[in-house]
Amino acid sequence: MPPSSNAEFLPGTLYMLVLRSLAGGPLHGYAIAKRIKDCSAEALSVEEGSLYPALNRMLAKGWLAAEWGVSESNRKARFYRLTPAGRNQLQKESREFDRLVRGIQLVMKNA
């Protein structure tokens, strides 16, 4: 079930954003949240209460893999990385999202 509690997100986009932010390499949970926040110029902020359940669900779906490592601040942290299935999923979701946004834009311009 995609998280929908976060009003700042379009429903169902959290997975896509997480997948995208992991496309560059493994990150731990906090870094994922921060990456989304920074890249969106603070427009999007991931609610922590839904980030970790979502990460677990994505692990269960096989899109992500996780292992323990050491963070830049030298702490023990759990790093998430994309699996091939996750990469496919990212492509699929971003394609559909593009289509959706284009559709909305067309309506907003022409209707």
Partner 1 sequence: MEWFRKLITRAAGWAAGTDADAEMAEEIRLHQQERAEELQRAGLSAQDAGRQARHEFGGALRAMEDSRSAWHLGWIEDLSTDLRYAARALVHDRTFAVTAMVSLALGIGVNTTIFSLAAEFLFSEPSVRDASTLAAVRLGGNSHADPEEFDYLRETGIFAGVTGYRDGEVNWRHGEISRRLFAFRVDPDFFQLLGVPLHAGRPIEPGDRDVALASHRFWRTALNADPAALNRTLTIDGRPHTLIGILPERHRTVFGFGLSPDLYLPVETERGRLALYVRLRPGVSRPEALERTRAAAKELDRRYPGPHYKRAGRVEVVGLAGLEWLGNRKMVPLATFFAMLLAAVNLVLLIACVNVASLMLARASARTQELAIRASIGAGRGRIVRQLLAESLLLAMVATGAGIALNLLLTGLLNDVALPIPAPIRLQIQPDWRLLIYSVAIALGSAVAAGLLPALQAARFAGPSALLNRGNRQAGSGSRLRSVLVTAQVAVTFLVLATAILFLRNLARSSAINPGFEVDRLVWASMRIVPERYPSGESVAPLVAAALQRLRALPGVEAASAVRVVPFNDQETHGGAIRVDGVEVPISRIHNQVSPGYFHTMGIGMVDGREFQERESGVAVVNEEFARRVFGPANAVGRTIQLFGGRAITITGICRNTKFMTIGEDDKPALYEPYTVADGDRRHKLAWMIRTRTSPAGLVRASEQALLDLDPAAAVEAKPMQSAMGFALLPSQLGAGLMGAMGLLGLTLASIGLYGVLVYGVARRRREIGVRMALGARTTDVLGLVLRDAAWIMGVGMAIGSAASFFVTRPLTMFLVSGLTPADPLSYVSVAAVLALVAMAASLAPSLRAIHVNPTEALRSE
Q: Which residues bind partner 1 (CB under 8 A)?
A: 28-30, 33-34, 47-53, 55-57, 59-62, 71, 73, 75-78
Q: Is the distance from CB of 8 to CB of 45 less than 8 angstroms?
A: yes
Considering the complex, state which of residue 48 and residue 98 has its C-beta at the smaller distance from partner 1. Answer: 48
Give 51 or 90: the residue with its C-beta nearer to partner 1: 51
Question: Alpha-carbon distance 20 to 27, whole Å?
Answer: 11
- The least CB distance from residue 38 to partner 1, in Å, is 11
- Looking at beta carbons only, is 10 or 66 nearer to partner 1? 66
Residues 6+ apart with CB under 8 A from 18: 32, 36, 51, 54, 55, 58
